[in-house]
Amino acid sequence: QVQLVESGGGLVQAGGSLRLSCAASGRTFSSYAMAWFRQAPGKEREFVAAISWSGSTTSYADFVKGRFTISRHNAKNTVYLQMNSLKPEDTAVYYCATTWTASMSRTPRSSPEYDYWGQGTQVTVSS
């Protein structure tokens, strides 16, 4: 069993930055691909970014490329999402997710591929 706890959400003005963190516990973190998803009110959950367990490969949704950066620190069992140039449409609950994978470069992009989820952290961007 893996437990995930997100932090770092909050209220920020458009153009500002936030860094989300997701702390994992319960299993060997380094064997797990990690991802961030988000869900805005009235919308389906959508993929934001993913990172392979080795950290060598990342994948981003088109709408965050060049603005968001995903990274991980395996020794700290933590994954991060640095969000810059935030827009009001980035307002959502952001979820951390993880899944075990044998491939050091795999970065799944669909939510059914992930086995464990955090409770989410609210990000609100004001215009």
Q: What is the secondary structure of 66-100 as a DSSP string?
A: TTEEEEEEGGGTEEEEEE-S--GGG-EEEEEEEEE
φ and ψ at 113, to 5 degrees? -80, -5
d(CA 96, CA 77): 13
Check whether 47 has a pLDDT greater than 90.
Answer: yes
pLDDT for residue 96: 98
Check whether 126 has a pLDDT greater than 80.
Answer: yes
pLDDT for residue 29: 73
pLDDT digits (tens, 9 = 90+) for 90-116: 999 999 999 998 888 999 999 999 999
pLDDT digits (tens, 9 = 90+) for 7-38: 999 999 999 999 999 999 887 677 899 999 99
